[in-house]
Chain A
Amino acid sequence: SQQGEEDPQALSIQEGENATMNCSYKTSINNLQWYRQNSGRGLVHLILIRSNEREKHSGRLRVTLDTSKKSSSLLITASRAADTASYFCATPGNQFYFGTGTSLTVIP
């Protein structure tokens, strides 16, 4: 069964605003990864945060991890229309569990 669950399911913001997506998971993890998907095709890896890390930055992306709450958040700052996509969190276990995704729409 899937382990990651994102919320919100859908998010619509104006260009320039920040977008925050959350992910909850069920069991202990070694790391948590965020991926992006455009137009229902292949996913692109965005960022990996390890279980002993609390925050990580990559460009306009900021990821936090709270292992006590079994949750993570992805923040996209100064959003652009090109950020419009679906975003998934993934937790490796004995297989790879992907959440249900957050569909982000950035309005120009």
Chain B
Amino acid sequence: GAGVSQSPSNKVTEKGKDVELRCDPISGHTALYWYRQSLGQGLEFLIYFQGNSAPDKSGLPSDRFSAERTGGSVSTLTIQRTQQEDSAVYLCASSLEAVQETQYFGPGTRLLVL
């Protein structure tokens, strides 16, 4: 596609439910990144993929968070047993190759946990 797409745009869920967020990177981009941004805050790095593997998972806040990427393309971020503090905008970005490259961001998924 022309840019990075994310779905859903908005998600409202109840505390304790699982949610799945999807990211479609720019075609041909091998690196994919997930960030979290709470209201009025900076970006919190969660995880990045080079191809299908994740060299750095250190940013995942807890074991309730997991991510996968298949076929070197689409990635899914899953949050299990959501908590209210998980409410944030989840941003996905992709770049042509390694971490040093310019990142192209999707519009984000706004998650609200009630």
Contacts and interface: CB of A to CB of B under 8 A. Distances in A.
B48 A95 contact: yes
Nearest to B89: A40
Interface residues of B, number: 28
A42 B45 contact: no
Interface in A50-108: 88, 90, 92-101
Given A40-B37, A40-B89, A100-B42, A94 B104 contact: no
B43 A88 contact: yes
A99 B100 contact: no
A41 B103 contact: no
A43 B45 contact: no
Given A42-B4, A99-B42, 10 more contacts: A41-B107, A41-B108, A43-B43, A43-B103, A48-B102, A88-B42, A92-B99, A92-B100, A96-B33, A100-B41
Interface of B: 4, 33, 35, 37, 39, 41-45, 48, 55-56, 58-59, 89, 91, 93, 99-108
